[in-house]
Chains A and B, each alone.
Chain A
Amino acid sequence: DVKVTQSSRYLVKRTGEKVFLECVQDMDHENMFWYRQDPGLGLRLIYFSYDVKMKEKGDIPEGYSVSREKKERFSLILESASTNQTSMYLCASSRTSGRNNIQYFGAGTRLSVL
């Protein structure tokens, strides 16, 4: 089974802190994604990566950066956390080749910024 593991289920941080959210997948997938999910807004793409050291901005990249130094790991960084970044963060991965491009999701990290 594909496993996408997010480092924390719940996280509480203070305004201005630097926050790291880690995601690891074990299926050698090329693509990895970071989303945030807010009530009434659905899933919104923050960043995605299609290869090691490659990244592209999603729909809402402001206030976030990412790092992908190894194929299996994709990190989301909040340089200076703000209260409007309180949300559920979901990581996903998928393969590029073939016709099966289903995204596999982690369990999510619920981040509260106080």
Chain B
Amino acid sequence: KNEVEQSPQNLTAQEGEFITINCSYSVGISALHWLQQHPGGGIVSLFMLSSGKKKHGRLIATINIQEKHSSLHITASHPRDSAVYICAVGPIQGAQKLVFGQGTRLTINP
């Protein structure tokens, strides 16, 4: 069993829909990261959170430390949101070896 599990693995939706991607982890963590990878390879960090909720534009990330679960939400989804979304867990400080989920491939159709 992977230490970080994401669901679903693939998600296809229509433009405008509300999107939820889930991440569950089995190890103790200090922080959880959500990353975005567009076709072509480049990965960018969307959020790093250790409690509660963070919002950036149409993206919202939440974490429940007790349940070891995080969700990434996208409101009013757009085709440009199509990407692979990756959940990773690790320490807040130190060398920060992250443990990655396998990613969720999101496709938003116009």
Contact = CB atoms under 8 A, between A and B. Distances in A.
B45 A102 contact: yes
Interface in B17-42: 31, 33, 40-42
Interface string B40-64: 1111110010000000000000000
Given A48-B97, A96-B94, A105 B43 contact: yes
Contacts of A50: 95
Contacts of B93: 96-99, 101
A45 B3 CA distance: 14
Interface residues of A, number: 29
B89 to A, nearest CB: 12
A108 B97 contact: no
Interface of A: 31, 40-45, 48, 50, 56, 58, 88, 90, 92, 94, 96-108, 110
A51 to B, nearest CB: 9
Interface stretch (B65-73, B75-83, B100-108): B100-108
A89 to B, nearest CB: 10
Contacts of A94: 96
B109 to A, nearest CB: 22
A104 B41 contact: no
B102 A41 contact: yes
Contact of B45 (A31, A43, A56, A104): A104
A88 B37 CA distance: 13
A42 B92 contact: no
B95 A31 contact: yes
Contacts of A105: 42-44
B95 A100 contact: no
A108 B41 contact: yes
